[in-house]
Every structure is written in structure tokens, then in C-alpha cells.
């Protein structure tokens, strides 16, 4: 493999979609990939696995817990210590779905909102000045954000965006009445927040004269081979592990290997150069939910996120 000339950071790279994205990108000449993960030992195992497929891969493991705002704030220094000062791509993939909770992060915020949205919001802000011209930001969302697509998940709902970060908010009593309870509703709502964020980010980059840096959303589809079901009950885990893989030929369904490869394409494929504000589901560009394009709501989430990260 030729010497690495471009660098990508991938969060949540040790399993499922993130690992397969790293694996696919490692096969593209010229890329150095930073596995940004909260478990350094798990990161090293993932890197070793990727190197078995791509012996010449240029990989580094750098500690990052996106649920911790302190960890996010110190990440640029750890990145620099690992020899990376310029980035050509940032893949915001790390995510959680909890079924028991709610749970608090060290900052006192609900873990789903903090991990799936707020940590990545701050991470992008902290790395903006390191993004090279033409850099690409990809945020992993989910079709669960759109109730019209009948994913089986509850529709996104919130009273205020700040309430999403507060486990004690009365709105969560209403969430508990939804199928699957508060954890699944928190997840689908966080995936809508991902879209508000990425579309608003694209607009702000353009307004700041940095329109060469693109921001796009990726939907991996209903996907087997991920860790999102690790907290499900035994019956649901069995279905996720053994039944879902049988459905991967259906529209909107996929495997971690296939979806990870398509996610990597958003990083390196010339077909996506200079294009921003896209929603790509597996390998097809499409429109996300009507609500996801609401600029007023996106601006409100942005301002609330700024306040929340400043308070922690």
C-alpha cells in the first residue's frame, strides 16, 4: 500500500458498522485511519483484525469516549500526540441504545442523547480547525427517525431539546407508554437530532466560507451484526442474531459488512466530492423525514447543544 496521505477519524470503530467501515477504508490506498474508541484494548484488537485483511493498513488507536465531554475536549491533544494534526474525514458513528434506564453520563446527561448527539456535536466543533480543504464529515443516523417508514420503533418526541438531556423530565413518563419504553424512544429521537445537526452544520459551514467541507448523513438500514441489541431481552437478542440475518435481502435491510463498505464510500468516493446535505440509505440517496429539514428546529437544537456543552 502507498504511504498514507489522508487521515480519517472513525468513532465507534471496534464492532459492527464502525469496524466494517474501517476495514473497507483500510483497503483504499493512501488512507490513515484513527480508531477513536473508549476501550483502547478493544481498539487494538479491532486494528489487528483489520490488518489481517489488509497487512499494510495505516491505523492508530486513540482514546475517545463520546459520552464524556471531558474526553471529547481532550481528544484533539491525544490526536496530536499520535501524530495527527490534519483531518480529511470525520465519521461520527458511535452510538448506544439502552433498554434499562435512563442512565446518566459523568456530565449528568442522559446517555443516549449524550452519546448519539451531544458528544459528536462537541467533537466536530473541536476538530473544525483541523479539517483540511475538501474534508468530509459523515454522521450516522437511522431510518428510525422517520415514523412513516414503519421501522417498528416509536416516533421521535420531545418537549424541549434540553429535556432530552434531563432524565427526570416529565416527558419521559409519556415515553414509557411507547412500545419498547423510554430507551427506544430516546434512540429514535437522537437519530432525528443527528439529522438536525448535520443539515445545520452544512448550512453553517457554507455561511462561514467553508463550504468545501461537506456534511452528510448515513443510514445503514436495518442491520444484522451490530452491538445495538446487546441490552435486549433474550428473545429479542435471539431474533436479532439469528432471524434478522435471514431478512437482509429485503429493501432497507443490510449487513454490517455491506453497510460499513457503503459508509466508507462517503469518505473516499469521488462521486461524493463537494456534495453536502445528503441522506444516504445504504447505497441510495433519498429524502429523510419532512421534519428533519425544519431549519428552525435545527437552529434550536444547535443553540441548546452549545449551552449544554458549556455547562458541563
187 catalytic? Reply is: yes
Pairing label, strands 214-219, 222-224: unpaired
Q: What is the dihedral of CA 136, 296, 156, 248, to 10 degrees?
A: -30
Mean local confidence (pLDDT), 31-58: 97
CATH of domain 6-311: 3.40.50.720
Q: Give the start-to-end residue ranges of the domains of the chain.
A: 6-311
pLDDT at residue 180 tops 80: no
Over the stretch 187-204, which tens digit does the pLDDT of each residue have?
999 999 999 999 999 999
Lowest-pLDDT range of 80-89, 132-141, 178-187, 233-242: 233-242
DSSP character at residue 225: S
pLDDT at residue 235 tops 50: no
Mean local confidence (pLDDT), 92-104: 87
pLDDT at residue 11 tops 70: yes
pLDDT at residue 260 tops 80: yes
Mean pLDDT of the chain: 89
In order of 14, 128, 195, the CA distances from 85 in angstroms are 23, 11, 27
For residues 43-66, one letter each, b for 16 or more C-beta atoms within 10 angstroms of the residue's C-beta and e for the rest, the string is beebbeebeeebeebbbbbbbbbb
pLDDT at residue 244 tops 70: no
Q: What is the pLDDT of residue 3?
A: 75
Q: What is the pLDDT of residue 183?
A: 86
* From 109, 187, 218, 268, the catalytic residue: 187
pLDDT at residue 105 tops 60: yes
Mean local confidence (pLDDT), 25-41: 97
> What band does 249 get if pLDDT is binned at 50, 70 and 90?
very low
pLDDT at residue 252 tops 70: no
Long-range pairs for 243-248 at CB < 8 Å and ≥24 separation?
A: 247/222, 248/224
Q: Give the residue ranges of DSSP H helices in 161-294.
A: 161-164, 171-175, 181-207, 234-238, 256-268
Over the stretch 140-172, which tens digit does the pLDDT of each residue have?
999 999 999 988 889 999 999 999 998 877 766
pLDDT at residue 238 tops 50: no
Q: What is the pLDDT of residue 242?
A: 38
Task: Please give the grid coordinates belonging to residue 128.
Answer: 473544525
Amino acid at each position: 500500500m502507498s504511504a498514507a496521505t489522508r487521515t480519517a477519524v472513525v468513532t465507534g470503530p471496534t464492532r459492527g458498522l464502525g469496524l466494517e467501515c474501517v476495514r473497507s477504508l483500510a483497503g483504499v490506498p493512501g488512507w490513515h485511519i484513527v480508531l477513536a474508541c473508549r476501550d483502547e484494548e478493544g481498539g487494538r484488537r479491532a486494528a489487528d483484525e483489520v490488518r489481517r485483511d489488509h497487512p499494510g493498513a495505516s491505523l492508530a488507536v486513540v482514546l475517545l469516549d463520546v459520552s464524556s465531554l471531558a474526553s471529547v475536549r481532550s481528544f484533539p491533544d491525544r490526536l496530536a500526540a499520535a501524530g495527527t494534526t490534519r483531518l480529511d474525514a470525520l465519521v461520527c458513528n458511535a452510538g448506544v441504545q439502552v433498554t434499562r434506564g435512563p442512565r446518566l453520563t459523568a456530565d449528568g446527561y442522559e446517555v443516549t442523547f449524550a452519546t448519539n448527539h451531544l458528544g459528536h456535536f462537541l467533537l466536530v466543533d473541536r476538530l473544525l480547525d483541523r479539517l483540511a480543504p475538501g474534508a468530509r464529515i459523515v454522521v450516522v443516523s437511522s431510518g428510525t427517525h422517520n415514523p412513516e417508514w414503519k421501522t417498528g420503533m416509536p416516533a421521535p418526541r420531545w418537549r424541549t431539546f434540553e429535556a432530552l438531556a434531563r432524565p427526570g423530565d416529565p416527558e419521559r413518563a409519556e415515553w414509557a407508554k411507547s412500545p419498547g419504553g423510554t430507551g427506544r424512544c430516546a434512540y429514535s429521537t437522537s437519530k432525528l437530532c443527528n439529522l438536525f445537526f448535520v443539515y445545520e452544520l452544512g448550512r453553517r459551514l457554507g455561511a462561514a466560507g467553508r463550504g468545501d467541507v461537506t456534511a452528510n448523513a448515513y443510514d445503514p438500514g436495518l442491520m444484522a451484526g451490530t452491538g445495538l441489541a446487546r441490552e435486549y431481552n433474550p428473545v429479542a437478542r435471539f431474533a436479532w442474531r439469528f432471524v434478522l440475518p435471514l431478512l437482509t435481502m429485503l429493501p432497507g435491510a443490510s449487513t454490517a459488512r455491506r453497510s460499513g463498505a457503503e459508509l466508507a464510500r462517503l469518505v473516499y468516493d469521488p462521486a461524493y466530492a463537494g456534495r453536502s446535505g445528503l441522506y444516504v440509505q445504504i447505497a441510495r440517496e433519498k429524502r429523510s423525514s419532512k421534519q428533519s429539514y425544519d431549519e428552525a428546529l435545527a437552529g434550536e437544537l444547535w443553540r441548546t447543544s452549545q449551552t449544554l456543552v458549556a455547562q458541563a
